[in-house]
A and B are shown apart, each in its own frame.
Chain A
Amino acid sequence: MAEETATAQQMADREMVARIGRGDQSAFSALYDRLSGPLYSLAMNMLGDTAEAQDALQDAFLQIWSRAGTYDPEQSSVFSWSVLLTRSKVIDRLRARGRRSRVVVGSTDDKETRTEAADASTIESATDTADKNDEAAHVRSVLNNLPSEQREAIELAFFGDLTHHEIAARLGQPLGTVKARIRRGLLKLRQRLHT
Chain B
Amino acid sequence: MISEEQQDQAALYALGLLNPDEDAAFESQLSASAELRDLVRELREATGDLALTAPSRLPPASLKQRVMRDIGMEPERSAPIPTQRASFAWIPWALAAMLMVLCGVLALDRASLRRELTDARAADPLMQTIFFTLTPSESAPVDAKATVAWQPSRQSGVIRITNLPAPQPGRDYQLWAVDAAHKDPISAGVIRVDKNGVAQIRFKPVDTAQQVKAFAISLEREGGAPKKEGPILLVGTA
Which A residues are closer than 8 A to B by beta carbons?
A: 1-8, 11-12, 14-15, 18, 25, 28-29, 32-33, 36-42, 44-45, 53-54, 57-58, 61-62, 65, 71-77, 79-84, 86-88, 91, 108, 111-112, 115, 119-124, 132-133, 135-136, 139-140, 143, 154-155, 157-159, 163-164, 179-180, 182-183, 186-187, 189-190, 193-194
Contact = CB atoms under 8 A, between A and B. Distances in A.
Contacts of B184: 5, 7
B135 interface: yes
Contacts of B180: 8
Contacts of A155: 50
Contact of B72 (A25, A87, A91, A115): A25
A72 B57 CA distance: 28
Interface residues of B, number: 66
A5 B231 CA distance: 10
A143 B232 contact: no
Contacts of B51: 38-39, 41-42, 83, 86-87
Given A18-B137, A186-B11, A119 B71 contact: no
Given A37-B57, A80-B45, A11 B232 contact: yes
A14 B38 CA distance: 19
A194 B27 CA distance: 23
B138 A73 contact: yes
B123 interface: no
Interface stretch (B12-20, B92-100, B145-153): B12-20
A84 B70 contact: no
Contact of B67 (A7, A62, A74, A76): A62
B54 A44 contact: yes
A84 B52 contact: no
Given A5-B228, A61-B67, A186-B43, A18 B135 contact: yes
Nearest to B14: A186
B74 to A, nearest CB: 10
B41 interface: yes
A44 B137 contact: no
B207 interface: no
Interface of B: 4, 7-8, 10-12, 14-17, 19, 34, 37-38, 41-60, 63-64, 66-68, 70-73, 135, 137-139, 178-180, 182-185, 213-214, 216, 227-232, 235-237
7 closest residue pairs by CB, A with B? A80-B48, A45-B54, A136-B52, A189-B46, A190-B46, A40-B59, A42-B51
A133 B231 CA distance: 29
A54 B60 contact: yes
Given A32-B64, A39-B51, A158-B50, A2 B41 contact: yes
A36 B51 CA distance: 12
A73 B232 contact: yes
13 contacts: A2-B37, A12-B237, A32-B67, A41-B51, A44-B55, A65-B71, A73-B138, A84-B16, A112-B55, A115-B55, A143-B50, A183-B8, A194-B45
Contact of B214 (A12, A44, A83, A136): A12
Given A5-B228, A28-B73, 10 more contacts: A1-B38, A3-B229, A8-B185, A15-B214, A41-B54, A44-B55, A72-B138, A88-B16, A139-B50, A139-B52
A84 B47 contact: yes
Given A2-B37, A62-B67, A158-B47, A11 B185 contact: yes
A15 B236 contact: yes
Given A41-B51, A42-B51, A54-B60, A187 B178 contact: no
A37 B58 contact: yes
